[in-house]
Structure 1
Amino acid sequence: MELASLPNGLELYTESPTEAEYLYKEMYEHGCYDSISLPDDPFVLDVGANIGMFSLYTKQRYPKARIMAFEPIPVTRGILERNIALHGLTDIQVEGHALGAETEADVVFTHYPRLPGNSTRYPEQKQLQIDVCLRLYPDDDTIEQHQGYEVTVPVDRLSRRLPADTRVDLLKVDVEGAEYEVLLGIDPEDWARIDRIILEVQDLDGRLDRINGFLAGKGYRTETMPSPMVEEEILTFLVTAVREGL
């Protein structure tokens, strides 16, 4: 772990300064999460919080925001908590569970120290990304970047973690292949209190259409755009969903 300095002077602890700068450019320069406006004091779920870049970005835009940040990988969660303390952030609750369709006690995830934001329950789904990067950037150390180790984490359903009677202004999901499962972990009665959703989705096996159709069936209007910093061949998109009537 080291303290990375980013182009705007922002400092964050990270295992990978290269990835931290990538996240910075994604949010601060490309504005990939700027398409949704929130109330002045939003309640936000940061599912796949990683080192806390999105939570910090949200608190800078909405200082009164209350955030639940879900990060299951132990080493990454420790860095997340350290970044929260570094910036004196308040009203952020860190949760150590991964989220999925069912409650499970011991689930194997793969953590990539050089690409911690890519850590995943489904490492086999990284093969397309590896193949594209090897072809486009043969001089990069792509194989080494995707060398990881296994960790065992608990998985819970989102509805079991939601505070009672709290409206969710934004549900952000970036969980490397488990997005649909996160949505399946929401009880029917809880959908009515989730106003906005933004997900990163890799379109493998028709996943993008499945998620868009699922959200439309729950009463959301959706928009899809390519993820701005991912190679087109990797098939990664941002899906924004807003409840009809907002």
Structure 2
Amino acid sequence: MIARFRYYLSSIPTILGQIRNWYVCFGLLLTKKPTIIMLKNGCRFKVRNVMDVWIIKETCLDRDYETHATPIQNGWVVIDIGAGLGDFAVSVAYEHPACHVYAYEPFPESFRLLEENIILNGTKNVIPFPAAVGATSEPMTLFTIGTAVQHSTTSASRHVHSITVKGLSLDDVLETNAIPVCDFLKMDCEGGEFDILFSASEATLRKIRHICLEYHDGVTKFSHADLVDYLQKRGFHVRTAPNPVHNHLGFLYAFRSPGDVI
């Protein structure tokens, strides 16, 4: 409880100091009308609610995926699985115009917001795909809950609605885009990380230099410990970091030594 309180309290200066129009957050508490927040680095994002702002805070301001992994370099090929409103994909593309970012988001509402935020920031180096990534390239069921960021292809236990979405395997993501090497694979897919990585071929995994994902324990029969073991056996160095608030969440970073990538 104390750690949770400290985390939320420490987030206030970040929001006030790095969001130019932070005061619009109060409006989001009172109405569901979308608005645009402006970051001090020049990025702008259309958001639907306070949860969207919090995601941007963690991804773009705290830079969770790079803090727990490695700084992204200009010119890298980046794949974003679970792109949501485009917080990670757009911020990477905005700061690194020579990067090529492939962003996958299956939920229609979030995908439209992703497209809007790409246009809003002029990040033409983001290529968006309205699809989920999973075990195979077949249609998938996306189970939905109250907030878009919690939609999942892995379990219907807490979900009340579902839609059918296009599905792609990680193998086909690399093959259809003719990606010889993925420099950075980011994943936030509510438990889908297990199916995606466990089903990927050895050849595909050897093409990936860095992986940073948010793991979700308790959603499937697997835990992040299974991912650690699986990736280590396939030549990755792995480290993890727990979420400061939720015990079932955390970050996993896997990387290969120079020369180990095809």
Query: TM-score, structure 2 length as denominator?
Result: 0.76
- Of residues 96-105 and 75-84 in structure 1, the stretch that sits farther from structure 2 once superposed is 96-105
Which has the higher relative contact order, 1 or 2, with Cα contacts under 8 A spaced 6 or more apart?
1
Aligned ranges 1:150-169 → 2 under 5 Å: 150-162=162-174, 163-169=177-183
Q: 1:61 to 1:87 in 2, by over 3 A?
A: closer
User: Counterparts of 2:115 and 2:246 in 1: how far apart (Å)?
Assistant: 33
**Matched-pair contact (CA < 8 Å) for 2:137–2:172:** no
User: Counterparts of 1:38 and 1:7 in 2: how far apart (Å)?
Assistant: 19
Corresponding residue SS for 2:109: helix
Q: Which residue of 2 aligns with 1:210?
A: 226
Q: Which residue of 2 aligns with 1:134?
A: none
**Matched-pair contact (CA < 8 Å) for 1:26–1:32:** yes
Provide the aligned length of Structure 1 versus Structure 2. 220
Q: 1:125 to 1:53 in 2, by over 3 A?
A: farther
**Partner amino acid, structure 2, of 1:237:** G
**Partner amino acid, structure 2, of 1:3:** T
2:151 is the alignment partner of 1:119: yes
User: Counterparts of 1:85 and 1:165 in 2: how far apart (Å)?
Assistant: 24
**Matched-pair contact (CA < 8 Å) for 1:198–1:240:** yes
Q: Which residue of 1 aligns with 2:249?
A: 236
**Matched-pair contact (CA < 8 Å) for 1:200–1:237:** yes
User: Counterparts of 1:54 and 1:125 in 2: how far apart (Å)?
Assistant: 28
Q: Which residue of 2 aligns with 1:141?
A: none
2:184 is the alignment partner of 1:173: no
- Following superposition, the deviation at residue 225 of structure 1 comes to 0.5
Corresponding residue SS for 1:82: helix
Aligned ranges 1:70-109 → 2 under 5 Å: 70-105=104-139, 107-109=140-142
**Partner amino acid, structure 1, of 2:89:** S
User: Counterparts of 1:125 and 1:51 in 2: how far apart (Å)?
Assistant: 25
Corresponding residue SS for 1:60: helix
User: Counterparts of 2:113 and 2:72 in 1: how far apart (Å)?
Assistant: 27
Query: TM-score, structure 1 length as denominator?
Result: 0.81
- Following superposition, the deviation at residue 124 of structure 1 comes to 4.3
Q: Which residue of 2 aligns with 1:32?
A: 64
Q: 1:69 aligns with which of 94, 99, 103?
A: 103
Corresponding residue SS for 2:73: coil
- Unmatched segments (≥5 aa) in structure 2: 1-32
Q: Which residue of 2 aligns with 1:131?
A: none
**Matched-pair contact (CA < 8 Å) for 1:125–1:177:** no
Q: 1:44 to 1:7 in 2, by over 3 A?
A: closer
Aligned ranges 1:117-156 → 2 under 5 Å: 117-124=149-156, 149-156=161-168
User: Counterparts of 1:161 and 1:29 in 2: how far apart (Å)?
Assistant: 28
Q: Which residue of 2 aligns with 1:136?
A: none
**Partner amino acid, structure 1, of 2:77:** F
- Following superposition, the deviation at residue 195 of structure 1 comes to 0.3
- Unmatched segments (≥5 aa) in structure 1: 127-146
Q: Which residue of 2 aligns with 1:225?
A: 241
**Matched-pair contact (CA < 8 Å) for 1:99–1:155:** yes
2:200 is the alignment partner of 1:186: yes
Q: 1:61 to 1:33 in 2, by over 3 A?
A: farther
Deviations 1:14-49 (A, max 9, x none): 3x3211211122123433122313332010000000
User: Counterparts of 2:162 and 2:222 in 1: how far apart (Å)?
Assistant: 28
Corresponding residue SS for 2:153: coil
**Partner amino acid, structure 2, of 1:11:** R
RMSD: 2.2
Q: Percent identity?
A: 23
